[in-house]
A = this chain, B = another copy of it.
Amino acid sequence: MTQSREIRLRTRPVGTPTAANFEVATTEVGAPGAGEVLVRNRFMSVDPYMRGRMYDRASYVPPFQIGEVLQGGAIGEVVESNAEGFAPGDLVSSFFGWREALVAPAAALEKLPRQANVPDQAFLGVLGMPGLTAYAGLLEIGQPREGETVFVSGGAGAVGSVVAQVAKIKGCTVVATAGTDAKCDWLRSRGVDHAINYRNGDLLGQVRAAAPKGIDVYFDNVGGEHLEVAIEVARPFARFAECGMISSYNDTEPSVGPRNIIQVVGKSLRIRGFIVSEFASLRPQFLTDMMGWIADGRVAWEETIHDGVDTAPEAFIGLFSGGNTGKMLVRL
């Protein structure tokens, strides 16, 4: 038997999650049965969308259950295989994060190619779900054309940082927001034309100054005031890729909606929400493009790593105060 520590949902968060909403438990993982594989996780992902699954409500994924282990993306190594195509030492990804070890049917695992120039955990970030989210949302919904202006909020996050760099690759002027000067410096080092620290206030004024002719594409990770500002500075026919609204995830009262929503009509704006699963078919093209851009040095990334499964709750909670630059990960 293999011992595995895991994180369970102890209580549903009200407002911003706290450590008390989670508990660590130790379980025993048995030997893999026929067609199964024993995996020891090496990295697990914490992502803002997981907050939504902590509410008890119907959504595009079912809610987490009290007392049960949480779920999320993870990568690990095969320890023991009872399934064709998997051998000890193989790198695999699964949706069985928030735990140290697991036994799963082969169909629930994906074997990953080890890349010479990228660490394995990139498959949880720039080469994984956040990377595909950025790629698909920007290119399929945003449809940026050379010379246009792309505005991205949460620009130093796992998704936003890829959006910003891919927009530069596509020949756009890029305006990105982040919550610290250090994050803004990183964005500028990646070629972002205008990096704005939204904590300095007057977001509308700062964005207007950066994009005096307006924006053509808005990639939204933040919602709230950022969305209202984007509507205000949008040019006619601007495209909004609504990926997330982290500023509202912990709201206990209804949010204030964008007060200038009426401009959607007069400016013929196109506002489109999406979940990355809609674009799963783009994954092969995404991986080809992204590996090429990484090899060329045109896409780089940052990681913020916590150590030990017991630190997963604090890593997750840190997402809501901007505790991460780039991808937030837990090393197991």
Q: Which residues of A contact B (CB under 8 A)?
A: 52, 59-60, 223, 227-228, 236, 242-245, 248, 254-275, 278
Cβ–Cβ contact A272 & B275, under 8 A: no
What is the CA–CA distance of A257 and B258 in the complex, to the nearest angstrom?
5
B262 and A255 form a contact (CB under 8 A): yes
A-B contact pairs, 21 of them (CB 8 A): A59-B266, A60-B236, A60-B268, A223-B261, A228-B257, A242-B265, A243-B265, A245-B261, A245-B265, A248-B262, A255-B261, A255-B262, A256-B256, A257-B259, A257-B261, A261-B261, A264-B273, A267-B273, A268-B273, A268-B274, A269-B273
Residue of B nearest to A260 (CB): B254
B264 near A261 (CB under 8 angstroms)? Answer: no
Chain B residue contacts of A236, Cβ below 8 A:
60
How often does this chain occur in the complex, in copies? Answer: 2
The smallest beta-carbon distance between A160 and chain B, in angstroms, is 15
Tell me the complex Cα distance, A258–B255, Å.
Answer: 8
**Pick from B257, B262, B265, B271: contact of A260, CB under 8 Å:** B257
Partner of A242, one of B228, B245, B264: B264
Which residue of chain B has the shortest Cβ distance to A61 in the bound complex?
A: B266
Question: Smallest distance from the beta carbon of A66 to chain B beta carbons, Å?
Answer: 21
Chain B nearest CB from A224 CB (Å) reads 9
CB distance from A136 to the nearest CB of B (A): 12
Give the shortest distance, in Å, between A217 (CB) and chain B (any CB): 15
CB pair A273–B265 under 8 Å, yes or no, is yes
Separation in Å of the A251 CB from the closest CB of chain B? Answer: 8
B268 touching A271, Cβ below 8 Å: no
CB distance from A159 to the nearest CB of B (A): 12
| Complex interface: chain B residues within 8 A of A60 (CB) | 236, 266-268
Q: Which residues of B contact A255 (CB under 8 A)?
A: 259-262
